[in-house]
Amino acid sequence: MRLPRTWEPFRWALFSSGGMAAALLLPATAFVLWVAAPAGWVGLRPREDLVGLLLHPLGRLVLSALVPLSFFHWAHRFRYTLYDGLQLKHLNALIASICYGGAAAASLAALAVLWTL
């Protein structure tokens, strides 16, 4: 018996990896940039070091993974909020297309900006 092919496992994988990456990396990044640096605990110059992070190849690679995963995490969460929360089950295909298409478009735009700096 052959199982039907669906994108649902791939979408759930993007959701879970995006949630994990956001949960692990975003609080640490926010703490360093918005608490530790202004308090003088770390020697960061806000603009110069942030631009240096964006221009460094390792920083770009990390952001190239974090930003799209965060967008797809949002898309999956928003899709199921509309699907279950607002009971829009009859619009499932349209909502999925808009959410994941929007996440893909936003990811490509963010990556284009990141890699053309």
Distance CA 79, CA 77 (A): 5
pTM for the model stands at 0.76
- Do the Cβ atoms of 102 and 75 come closer than 8 Å? yes
Both tokens of 102, joined, read 């929007």
Average the pLDDT over 67-95 and give the result. 89
Q: Where are the alpha helices (DSSP H) in 1-117?
A: 8-31, 37-39, 46-55, 57-80, 92-115
- Over the chain, what is the mean pLDDT? 85
Both tokens of 110, joined, read 């963010």
- Do the Cβ atoms of 115 and 60 come closer than 8 Å? yes
* Every domain of the chain and the residues it spans: 9-115
Per-residue pLDDT tens over the stretch 43-80: 777 677 778 878 888 989 988 988 999 999 999 999 98
| Domain 9-115, CATH number (from 1.20.1530.20, 3.40.640.10, 1.20.1300.10, 3.40.50.970) | 1.20.1300.10
